[in-house]
Chains A and B, each alone.
Chain A
Amino acid sequence: MRGEGVPRDPRGPRCHPEPARIAEFMEYPLAMIKALEHKPRHRHKGPSGASVSRHDTLPVVRALLLVFLPFSLATAADAGSDYFETKIRPLLAAQCAGCHSSKLASPMAGLRLDDPASLRAMVTPRNANASRLIQAVRYETKGMPPAGRLPQAEVDALVRWVEMGAPVPEANAAAPRSAAAKAKAAKEHWAWQPLTPGAGSIDDQIAARLGMEGLSMSAAADHRTLIRRLSYDLVGLPPKPGDDRMTVPQAVENYLASPHFGERWARYWMDVARYADTGFLGRAFLIPFRYRDWLIDAINRDLPYDRFVAFQLAADQMPDAAKADHAALGFLSLGANPNRPEDLPDVADDRIDVVTRGLLGLTVTCARCHDHKYDPIPTRDYYALYGIFANTRYAQPVHISPLPPFYEKRAELRRQIRRAYILERLEELRAEFREPKEARRYLEALWKGRHLSGSALESLAREKNLNTLVVQRWAARLAQRADWREARESPVEMYLAKLTAPPDDDWRSLLRGPSAPPEVPEEDFASIQTEGDANTTRDLQWQFEEVLNDATYRGATGVIAGAHDRATIKPAHVFVRGNQNDLGEPVGRCFPTVLAKEKCFTPSGTGRLDLARAIALPENPIAARVAVNRVWQHLFGEGLVRTPSDFGVRGDLPTHPELLDALAAEFMQDGWSTKRLIRRIVLSRAYQQASGDRAEARAKDPENKLLWHMNRRRLDFEALRDGMLAVAGRLDPKIGGQPVSIDTMPADPRRTLYTIVEREKPLPLLKTFDVADPEQHSPQRYQTTVPQQGLFLLNSPFVGEMARALALRSASVDELYRHAFGRKPSPVEANRAMAFWERAGAVAAVTGGAWRYGTAAFDPSTGQVDGFTPFRYFTGRSWQNASAGVDPETGVARLTATGGAPGDDLRAVAARRWIAPADAILEIKGRLVHNVGALQLRFKLSNGIRGWVVSSRQGKLGRWRIEAPPPPKDHLSYQANPGVDTNLTAIEVKAGERLDFIVDSIDDYEADGFSWAPVLKAADGRTWDARQDFDGPPFPRLNGREQLAQVLLLSNEFAFLD
């Protein structure tokens, strides 16, 4: 019994099948059933027919499962084939193919282990001891492989396979195991067929389907519930006061026209696009928020979905795209992007996944190592897309206006340093390859491997610890020489003698000059660099991008991240079993064959634009089906297809196939307008139903697949937090811009979708509330209920702050309820609330200590400090002005307990201010240290810093300068940077006098972090210690009213949408 025989058999084998296994979730359900035997519950046949079981069948079901499951999935032959595919073929490919493959011109001993006949000749089925293959790997006869024995586990696997009868899948072993079944699926599976739209409206179709089960829709929800539902669904915020005076159609138009509509729906798309602000190793992406803001804008202006998709795949190639539209390419660029050359397959895989699951509902990445097990997606199709995405360069800066000189200078400096570093190292590495000792190693290896090529040669290079590229260069060069090619005995010694003898042009050109193998060209530096080189060049590149990011944060709108095709398109090959070193047949750049036959793209470029155009076409309705289903899912809580990114044969069938098709058809006829689609759905009776329970309907359709009522939904994290900000009157309605932190005190009042998403340093709070994981495309969010959610709601400063603000703006219990729920309290509720309301309590006046943290204008020539603006946010570690990233006005200026960053503008330098509580005579001790990294030191990026102590009454009290030390010989010495003592004695201060501790960057504004935590000691023993005294804003306890407000924010009424 195979998956394709019974299309939706949930017990079908896995993508990576193991033979004769219960393919699905282990045996764990069995254990559960066992636990449940004493708690039988009635279940009835559901209307979809999918849910059939009664309690009295349970023991039987269990027995059947126990007895039959392990054997029922595959015939013995299939099991053998599986075993061969998963264990034996990869083993032979990895261990033996170097010498015994039909790809070789003359395989050793004429043996081709990838040829079924040749392989069979080596074994005696069910008799391992008599099999030549086994004897060889046991070193009983031949001693294979010659380089060393196989691990015992692999020998065991071979023995087991022989004992199984040495099954080898017939004929073309790489062909799908059931090509016919898949071809049938391609012809018949609903998702890949033309649309068959049902007649009638949404309501007609829902009602008709309900009617077939003797069910009907619920009555409409009450007006207030509807307005709240629409408001959260369309703009992600609670209704504003007075919204319920609008009729439903008015409210719909109002919300669709709201600029907040784009925010709500952009966040949904960000789940699809695995949005993040930073990537691999915390690298800040090039201005990712431009992509997010592009989404908001595109959705707000209802950019037709086909163009919405096209921009995101190929804005750089669309004639009508503005430069700003290149931001849409973030869809491709914002993946994890590991940076080593050998990671390219993973980088491309990430894009293939986001494009195929995200836009086509197709799990193409299942076909990376072998043909898709269930869907008609051959490996060729995967690599046809690989050819497109591996040839696209991502996150390339696109300048839409010139950088201001301040940033251009810094960017250019990094460009130059990086190039100089590469050239210097390139010469050193070439010199190494030229050394006679090295040349000998290469020549000897190449003589030994003179019959090898391709991946076999690469394996040899790895085994001998030689550089693969240099091996290839030597191989190519030597192949041109008759004295090598035709040699019968090893010419290595002769070569070495000639190479080290006095110069002769012919021989000389083997070691020097552009075609000499050691003379690796600059563009191939990445292939010969060491780990240290890779780190250094990567860090310099990232620093360069950081300059561009800084410039953007500071309001210079110069750059966005784009993508473009590689100058020379490298043809793609199938990677045999996903191994990039094992090239199979070449493939063109084409559309998945299940969706369109023979649709291949331009030979000149990657074909991204063609791909984009092929995705959203009326004759290819899958994209429309997927898009429409996502919209439905967001409005109802469940899609019409409940596996929204898998429309393949193992995905769920649509609950209402004809309705899905009708919506898709109308969507396309409507010019791919998402807003019109949403309007159609939310104006339906189906959407406007009440969410209340109806026992008789629930009995027939417990999962509400047929929509006999509206699903009650819990607000997602964004809506919950935004809702609190809104009812507390704190929400900042600004649209777009740089990311913020939602983890500061006070809270940043921006909407939650602007939270910075750091892939490697995710805010645990986001995980706690099931916000989409940014690592991969996310079709749906989980909805878990864990106590950490409760801890956040009960104890976090954020909820406390919202409760306080909500109480403060509410003059009475009535008003409190109106703000929180948009309704009046019942008499019981009002009565109960009074006990809290009356304990208003006095707000204790809290004063900070003697320290203040902020920025001031500073003139180093006079030592004059002017103005002082306290920092806005406390992150738990530092005081700063932007809750995340770089503040437009004050840059990176910030202060921590032990130091900080001076900022890059003398009009706003970081100032740690101490205010004398009384007259005193002070002794001030401290040590100022300049914190610079190895890279800054090595490339002399910073000229040092200065520290100042300035009194408001006495002017400059002290000044210290730290010069940047000379470049280090190694990276460890920078840690020994001793800094300078900043001690002052007998400083007389008057009550109220201010001392400012200021560090400035000496004009270069390079990475000038510092440590400086002075201790002030008065003659009478009182001490102020910058480090120990450092703290966030005061946080008084909630009074009764505020406690009441908090309870309303925590209630289920607040958290659920009826």
Chain B
Amino acid sequence: MISRREWWRRIGAGMGQMGLVGVMQQALGANPLAPRRPPLSAKVKRVIHIFCNGGPSHVDTFDPKPALTKYAGQPLPTHLRTERRTGAAMPSPFAFKRFGKSGLEISEVFSKVGAHADDLCVIRSMHTEVPNHEPSLMMMNCGATQQSRPSFGSWVVYGLGSENQNLPGFIALCPGGLPIRGARNWKSAFLPGAYQGTHIDTRETELDKLVANVQNRLTAREDQERQLALLAAMNKEYAEQRAEDQALEARVQSFELAFRMQLEAENVFDLSKEPASIREPYGDTLHGRQLLMARRLLEKGVRVVQVWHGAGQPWDTHDDIAKRVRNLAGESDQPIAALLTDLKQRGMFDDTLVLWGGEFGRTPVVELPAFGSNNGTAGRDHNSYGFSVWLAGGGVKGGTVHGATDEFGFRAEVDRVHVHDLHATMLHLLGFDHERFTFRYAGRDFRLTDVHGQVVRNVLA
């Protein structure tokens, strides 16, 4: 078992020889979630990641490719290897429009998000390594396709702690169950369990099902207060016979925190506490509710909130792009627009980082029918060579496009941005040098970006 002393020795590894560990430990107490300042100047202090799991089609959303119309129904001059069998070029069934002063081109299916075009920085040259969901989810969330590594959110909470001790520091909202690879997407791996993301099924409405054991059904509240008073008295006597052991005190405090968390959770998940003028723009839909919940959590000081589109992989549109992408975007377009407006109204936009995207993109060519894959109706296959994400919020250069895919949207060609680069950039905005932000484990100092990653300066305001 690792004592707190050992724990701080690891955290402040460089200081071990200076004998300062004990001092830091004193100052910060034993709470691994105590808020901390980042080592460098930060533009943002919290992150919301809107995760379109399944792989949203970039050529139908944020990366217009008129050349596909020219080649419609014909093979493309360059055809990259795809995971499943693919055929001819398939133009987007959607119209792209220019939005805002910047004239950013965005698909009609995201026209409400488009109204915020001048705040978005669309990276059209993303690429990742494998056109399979599992490794790409791991890459996007944990920075490694296969091996067990801590998730982005866990790293951030490890680095910054949380502003609110009555709630988990990293929360993953996913309605209806879990995405593919489940809790691995928000795992803390070799970081302490306190940094693990907490999953909340936003389809549930009962508080108890949102956060485990957060509701006291065993006793009336005044009974529990009496119990805690007795517990405190017993623990005090126990500690008096055992001087100088902070582990005892830390455990006493954890009960007080738990008690307060009960009250806080009741409050934060109760959306009826929001005025109608705020609730209405989000809309009384699953996605409207969960994005509003996300905003409430961020406002209460939760460090990282991930908002998943749904269980499984809803954006995995191997079929019927015209209908399915319209529906999927339709579910989230208005709530995302409302979130951006809401963050601005509250003055949170400038110190929040918003990331929208999936684990990869989709092919500009149609996927051919195959058993176990699709039914062959105008869908697209996975594409790890090129895809789009967008950033918004503090420190992000709004109204801009960074990078480009080739003429057809198959492969990122100009100013390519690997997922490692995206991570490096996000850590930079949070005040970390991704090359120095490490954790010692198994004889190595691990990083989110492993040995890769470059900050994409061009997206920074």
Contacts and interface: CB of A to CB of B under 8 A. Distances in A.
B277 to A, nearest CB: 33
A555 B403 CA distance: 61
A532 B372 contact: yes
Contact of A1035 (B217, B374, B438): B217
Interface string A1014-1046: 000000000000000000000101100001101
Contacts of B13: 10, 24-25
A791 B266 CA distance: 14
A780 B7 CA distance: 11
Interface string B423-458: 000000000110111111011110100110010000
B242 interface: yes
A75 interface: no
B354 to A, nearest CB: 24
B74 interface: no
Given A36-B27, A970-B375, A776 B244 contact: no
Contact of B193 (A41, A703, A768, A1048): A768
Contacts of B438: 14, 23-26
B258 A787 contact: yes
B148 A1038 contact: no
Contacts of A117: none
A934 B1 contact: no
Nearest to B252: A1052
B198 interface: yes
A242 interface: no
A24 B146 contact: no
Given A532-B84, A776-B190, A1056 B248 contact: yes
A313 B454 CA distance: 42
Most interface-central of B217, B250, B369 (chain A CB within 10 A): B217
B445 A782 contact: no
A21 B438 CA distance: 12
Given A10-B16, A832-B230, A346 B84 contact: no
A783 B234 contact: no
A485 to B, nearest CB: 28
A23 B79 CA distance: 44
B165 A764 contact: no
A440 to B, nearest CB: 14
A698 B293 CA distance: 49
A366 to B, nearest CB: 5
Interface stretch (A50-58, A681-689, A859-867): A50-58
B248 A1052 contact: yes
Contact of A50 (B16, B188, B444): B16
Contact of B231 (A36, A336, A769, A1051): A1051
A784 B192 contact: yes
Contacts of A465: 79-82
A614 to B, nearest CB: 21
Contacts of A1053: 234, 238
B215 interface: yes
B32 A786 contact: yes
A498 interface: no
A18 B447 CA distance: 12
B370 to A, nearest CB: 5
Given A39-B27, A795-B214, A783 B1 contact: yes
Interface stretch (A118-126, A489-497, A586-594, A712-720): A712-720
Interface residues of B, number: 133
Contacts of B439: 25
Contact of B1 (A24, A637, A692): A637
Given A10-B14, A281-B134, A532 B1 contact: no
Interface stretch (B33-41, B62-70, B116-124): B33-41
Most interface-central of B28, B189, B215, B416 (chain A CB within 10 A): B416
Given A29-B15, A532-B371, A23 B445 contact: yes
Contact of A531 (B132, B184, B238, B369): B132
Contacts of B183: 760-762, 764
Interface string B19-30: 110111011101
Interface stretch (A100-108, A448-456, A602-610, A642-650): A642-650
A28 B36 contact: yes
Given A152-B415, A791-B262, A43 B30 contact: no
Contacts of A1051: 231, 234-235, 238
Contacts of B20: 29, 33, 36, 43, 53, 58, 61
A471 B81 CA distance: 14
A970 B376 contact: yes
Contacts of A969: 371
Contacts of B258: 787-791, 793-794
B181 interface: yes
A791 B371 contact: no
B224 interface: yes
B239 interface: yes
Given A16-B451, A27-B40, A761 B217 contact: no
Interface in B328-359: none
Contacts of B220: 1037
Interface in B102-120: none
Contacts of A769: 193
Most interface-central of B36, B218, B255, B374 (chain A CB within 10 A): B218
Contacts of A760: 181-184
Contacts of A43: 19-20, 22-23
B2 A792 contact: no
Given A465-B79, A782-B193, A1046 B413 contact: no
A908 B82 CA distance: 49
B98 interface: no
Interface string A581-622: 000000000000000000000000000000000000000000
Contacts of B247: 712, 714, 783, 785, 1056
Given A792-B212, A970-B376, A1052 B31 contact: no
Nearest to A781: B1
Given A26-B438, A465-B79, A338 B146 contact: yes
B421 interface: yes
Contacts of A27: 39-40, 433, 436
29 contacts: A10-B13, A14-B445, A25-B14, A27-B40, A31-B36, A32-B24, A33-B20, A357-B442, A530-B84, A535-B372, A637-B3, A693-B242, A703-B5, A716-B1, A760-B181, A768-B193, A773-B187, A782-B2, A782-B192, A784-B7, A784-B194, A788-B213, A788-B258, A794-B216, A794-B255, A795-B262, A970-B369, A970-B371, A971-B371
Given A50-B17, A532-B370, A773-B188, 17 more contacts: A16-B444, A16-B450, A30-B39, A32-B36, A86-B451, A365-B442, A366-B444, A374-B443, A693-B242, A764-B183, A782-B193, A790-B261, A791-B211, A794-B218, A803-B218, A1051-B231, A1056-B248
5 nearest A-B pairs in the assembled complex, by CB-CB distance: A790-B258, A363-B443, A465-B81, A775-B148, A24-B14
Interface of B: 1-7, 11-20, 22-24, 26-28, 30-33, 36-40, 79-85, 132, 134, 146-148, 159, 165-166, 168, 178, 181-184, 187-190, 192-194, 196, 198-199, 211-220, 223-224, 226-227, 230-231, 233-235, 238-239, 241-245, 247-248, 250-262, 319, 369-376, 413, 415-416, 421, 432-433, 435-440, 442-445, 447, 450-451, 454
